[in-house]
Amino acid sequence: MRTALVALVAIIGWTAIPHAHAALVVSDPVERVALGDTPAAIRLTFSERPDAALSEIRVLDAAGSEQQLGRALASPDEPLTLYVNVRPLDRGIYTVSWRTVSAIDAHASEGSYVFGVRVEPAAGPASASATASVSLAESAARWIFIVGLVALLGATAAALARFGGGAEPPLAAGGCAVAIAGVMLLAFAQARNARVPLAAILNTGVGHALLWRGAALAAAAVALGYRAMGTALVAALVAVALHVLNGHAGAADRWLVPMVLSQWAHFSAAGVWFGGLAALLLGIRGQPAAAKADAARRFSRIAAAALVVVSVTGLVRTLDEVSSWRDLVTTPYGLTVTAKLALTLAIVAFAAVNHWRSLAAAATNLRPLRRAGGGELALAVCALAAAALLGALPPRPRR
């Protein structure tokens, strides 16, 4: 457990290095070009769809005066492109400075480059570029949201499959409350990333997605009030789908539906597995009993199926997001994937101990099951932290 936490902290420390989310792919005019006449507009194409309302493009002359006309606009025919019109430019060197906010997940990136009008840019200032760094506040908010949603998924699944021993309602209610808090914190973190007031972010597509997640969780809370666990589970699964649609899977430029479905299945199966384990451990407190041993065996079968889903979909998502196996040990995103994989293997080891040893003794001795299950759950919390960090880190740029 301590080693896993140290590894995650080291990776988080690396993520202070700037990395692009919506990376600049194509610019018109291109960097350092010498134009024979003034361009009518500056056009920038990014690896993710930018939100024009939250993004800006500035064109500065050598004195720092702005030469653009109005705000950056979305290109009607090219969803990845922003453009800004410019006034007639005199002979000289100009700097294009841009800052974009992704319309998918509100991640911000920025940069600049130079071009010339009837002047070779090499004679002017050096081109410079930069990108916004990963927000640790956003990662923490995502982790809180994920932990709460996992508890809600697992508790409602436990109630339906009857392995929670009566602990399901308070766990589900607590998980729902934590997930709602996570959505609220995520809204504040994304507004901070975009450098706009909270009301401004809520009026964008990103904000609408946050509100829809909150609505799904509110529906789950109402269902829990009526002890309608099946309805609460459906609402939780909808919240997972909304979260996935507004993450890396939702930004896929190819195989969008399979990638979203894969990530949804991955998240949902992990939630039933880890959240269900929490419900089981709460439900088997006290003295051993045949009913508790039966509940543990039911959970074990469900967890085994969840493990298969998590493994297959995790591989699919890794192949889509990591450009080469070398990335797994050389990039922050890849290292976080590697850490998550290592944590998952350790979790599987604890689960194997429970399946092959602890279950056999559960009718008369629950201590081995509780010890191994507690270790499994502690590592799961770390794996969820890695998953939250992956949501805030940029994978390979999409072309």
12: in domain: no
Does residue 267 have a pLDDT over 90?
A: yes
398: in domain: no
pLDDT (0 to 100) of residue 123: 53
Looking at the structure, tell me whether residues 239 and 381 fall in a common domain: yes
pLDDT band of residue 24 (cuts 50, 70, 90) is confident
Give the total number of structural domains in the chain. Answer: 2
Looking at the structure, tell me whether residues 146 and 116 fall in a common domain: no
Looking at the structure, tell me whether residues 113 and 147 fall in a common domain: no
Which pLDDT tens digit goes with each residue over 271-301?
999 999 999 999 999 999 999 999 999 999 9
pLDDT (0 to 100) of residue 134: 65
Q: In what order do the strands lie in the sheet with 24-28?
A: 24-28, 41-46, 81-86, 68-74
Spatial separation of the C-alpha atoms in residues 23 and 333, rounded to whole Å: 15
CATH number of the domain enclosing 26 = 2.60.40.1220
Looking at the structure, tell me whether residues 174 and 293 fall in a common domain: yes
Among 3-12, 260-269, 281-290, whose mean pLDDT is lowest? 3-12
Looking at the structure, tell me whether residues 174 and 68 fall in a common domain: no
Does residue 7 have a pLDDT over 80?
A: no
E strands, the chain, in order: 24-28, 34-35, 41-46, 56-60, 68-74, 81-86, 92-101, 108-117
Spatial separation of the C-alpha atoms in residues 79 and 75, rounded to whole Å: 6
**DSSP letter assigned to residue 66:** B
Looking at the structure, tell me whether residues 110 and 164 fall in a common domain: no
Does residue 12 have a pLDDT over 60?
A: no
399: in domain: no
Does residue 13 have a pLDDT over 50?
A: no
Q: With contact defined as beta carbons under 8 Å apart, do 183 and 214 qualify?
A: yes
Looking at the structure, tell me whether residues 48 and 186 fall in a common domain: no
Share of the chain above pLDDT 90, in %: 64
Strands 34-35 and 108-117 turn out to be: parallel
Which pLDDT tens digit goes with each residue over 181-235?
999 999 999 898 888 899 988 988 889 999 999 999 999 999 999 999 999 999 9
Range of the domain at 294: 136-392
- Give me the residues paired with residue 114 across strands: 95
Last residue of a domain, one of 123, 151, 172: 123
The candidate with the shortest Cα–Cα distance to 237, out of 222, 249, 221, 220, is 220
pLDDT (0 to 100) of residue 329: 85
Last residue of a domain, one of 80, 96, 123: 123
Looking at the structure, tell me whether residues 87 and 223 fall in a common domain: no
pLDDT (0 to 100) of residue 21: 57
More confident residue, 3 or 369: 369
Residue type, 61: D
215: in domain: yes
4: in domain: no
- Residue 256: CB atoms within 10 A of its CB come to 13
Distances (CA, A) of 258 to 60, 61, 245, 252: 43, 46, 12, 10
pLDDT (0 to 100) of residue 317: 83
Which pLDDT tens digit goes with each residue over 330-353?
888 889 999 999 999 999 999 998
pLDDT (0 to 100) of residue 3: 42
The candidate with the shortest Cα–Cα distance to 255, out of 302, 320, 192, 314, is 320
Looking at the structure, tell me whether residues 182 and 80 fall in a common domain: no
Looking at the structure, tell me whether residues 55 and 114 fall in a common domain: yes
pLDDT (0 to 100) of residue 319: 82
Does residue 382 have a pLDDT over 90?
A: yes
321: in domain: yes
96: in domain: yes
Looking at the structure, tell me whether residues 143 and 209 fall in a common domain: yes
Rg (CA), the chain: 25
Looking at the structure, tell me whether residues 53 and 160 fall in a common domain: no
214: in domain: yes
Mean pLDDT, all residues of the chain: 87
Helix-strand-coil split of the chain, %, nearest 5: 60, 15, 25
CATH number of the domain enclosing 217 = 1.20.1630
Last residue of a domain, one of 123, 151, 169: 123
